[in-house]
Amino acid sequence: MDVKSSVLERYSEGAKAQQADLCCPVDYNTDLLKILPKEILERDYGCGDPSRYVRGGDTVLDLGSGGGKICYIAAQLVGELGHVIGLDMNQDMLNLAQKYKQEMADKIGGDRVNFHYGHIQDLALDLNAADIYLKEHPVQNKDDLEKFDAWQIKQKHNQPLIADNSIDLIVSNCVLNLVDDTQKLQLITEIFRVLKPGGRVAISDIISDEFVPDEMKADPELWSGCISGVFQEKEFLQKFIDAGFYSVAYDKWDNTPWKIINNIEFRSVTLTAVKPEQSTALDAGHTVMYKGAFASVTDDKGYVFDRGDRIAVSDVHFNALRYSTLVKDFIFIEPEKSPCCASTWVDSLFTVRAIADSKIGSSVGSGNKPASSSFCG
């Protein structure tokens, strides 16, 4: 089955007229919908609201932006310093989104949204540039094909549509499931590539409780209807962990399934994750305590946080936890501000920090000075 053709066809129809069977009820922030055109609101084929994760100043990339609804919501949240990029492979959807670009810029008070023609599993390739190349160099034989392949490699290297480490937040609303299974690993690798270190992911999508059998995968209607290509619920989390993300979590999980087919439950979730920082981690006296109510929790690296223990963490790890969905589960104890007293973080230091060394704002005791510090001179 040709996944791409069935998806293209279905969403071209969806751009021109509302497709009721593709709609999944979502609670958006109604204040942010007020300025959106009726036509865009009607062509809503999302299954969640990843725009809730947008922060002021973010550069946001919306994978499979469709009619542009999430982009125009995000544009209201990023503020003057932020920017939003919508990316889709369907020209009809892009046309719908672009049609309101100026009107939305006037209403929001700034032109902060751009739409790109591309595949979400190949974020470097600019499909407009590819179309121009192919018009000038039609592929008629194997040699032409090899030249086109070489052009793509050069183009993606020299002028990537989305550059490495350039995005603060990737959002997506009911799209990842539409990518062919053979390209899903590449898709998650691309998400990792374009995010800045410390960049975040908020992906709303449909998942299944059981793996979808081959006979359902072979049905183009079920595929383009956001059913056949979904990740199984544990697999979805694992793929992001395997790609190198941390703080991978389901931040939202619809208890009531969207659809039940052949006794398989298909439901909407929102997955959040963070790309690790690349800066050198320091031991500057940061401490966290797991609040409970479990006896302990273990992170993806195997580190254990026992309830009530003051655990020494690096500055990078401290901030990662503080800005993750785990913030409510931990107590954060900042060191005294003393930039000269920090040493390079060593993983074996991942132990309980003495209470005397983690008093808040106190200058009593040994403070936050690590035993050996390469930064204290």
Ligand X SMILES: C[S@@+](CC[C@H](N)C(=O)[O-])C[C@H]1O[C@@H](n2cnc3c(N)ncnc32)[C@H](O)[C@@H]1O
Binding stretches for ligand X (CB under 6 A) = 7, 11, 44-46, 64-67, 69-70, 88-90, 93, 119-121, 173-175, 178-179, 226
In the block, tokens 């946080």 appear at 305
Residue 209: count of CB within 10 angstroms of its CB: 14
Q: How far is the CB of 74 from ligand X (least distance, A)?
A: 12
Q: Which is nearer to ligand X, 76 or 314 (CB)?
A: 76
Reference 248, options 188, 294, 316, 162; nearest CA is 188
Q: Which is nearer to ligand X, 120 or 222 (CB)?
A: 120
Q: Which is nearer to ligand X, 67 or 335 (CB)?
A: 67
Q: How far is the CB of 287 from ligand X (least distance, A)?
A: 41
Q: How far is the CB of 90 from ligand X (least distance, A)?
A: 3
In the block, tokens 């942010």 appear at 32
The strand pair at 310-312 and 304-306 is best described as: unpaired
Q: How far is the CB of 164 from ligand X (least distance, A)?
A: 19
Q: Which is nearer to ligand X, 93 or 282 (CB)?
A: 93
User: How far is it, in rounded angstroms, from Cα 285 to Cα 373?
Assistant: 12
CB 184 within 8 A of CB 238: no
Tokens describing residue 85: 């990029």
User: How far is it, in rounded angstroms, from Cα 43 to Cα 30?
Assistant: 16
Q: Which is nearer to ligand X, 186 or 338 (CB)?
A: 186
- Please, is 55 exposed, middle or buried when counting C-beta atoms within 10 Å of its C-beta (0-12, 13-18, 19+)? middle
Q: How far is the CB of 177 from ligand X (least distance, A)?
A: 8
Q: Which is nearer to ligand X, 76 or 358 (CB)?
A: 76
Q: Which is nearer to ligand X, 4 or 310 (CB)?
A: 4
Q: Which is nearer to ligand X, 44 or 283 (CB)?
A: 44
Reference 263, options 206, 204, 205, 211; nearest CA is 211
Q: How far is the CB of 225 from ligand X (least distance, A)?
A: 9
Q: How far is the CB of 151 from ligand X (least distance, A)?
A: 20
User: How far is it, in rounded angstroms, from Cα 40 to Cα 131?
Assistant: 27
CB 89 within 8 A of CB 117: yes
Q: Which residue is nearest to ligand X (CB)?
A: 66
Q: For residue 356, what are the contacts with CB-CB under 8 A and spacing of at least 6?
A: 364, 365, 366
CB 205 within 8 A of CB 47: yes
Reference 350, options 294, 290, 310, 321; nearest CA is 310
User: How far is it, in rounded angstroms, from Cα 185 to Cα 126?
Assistant: 20
Q: How far is the CB of 84 from ligand X (least distance, A)?
A: 13
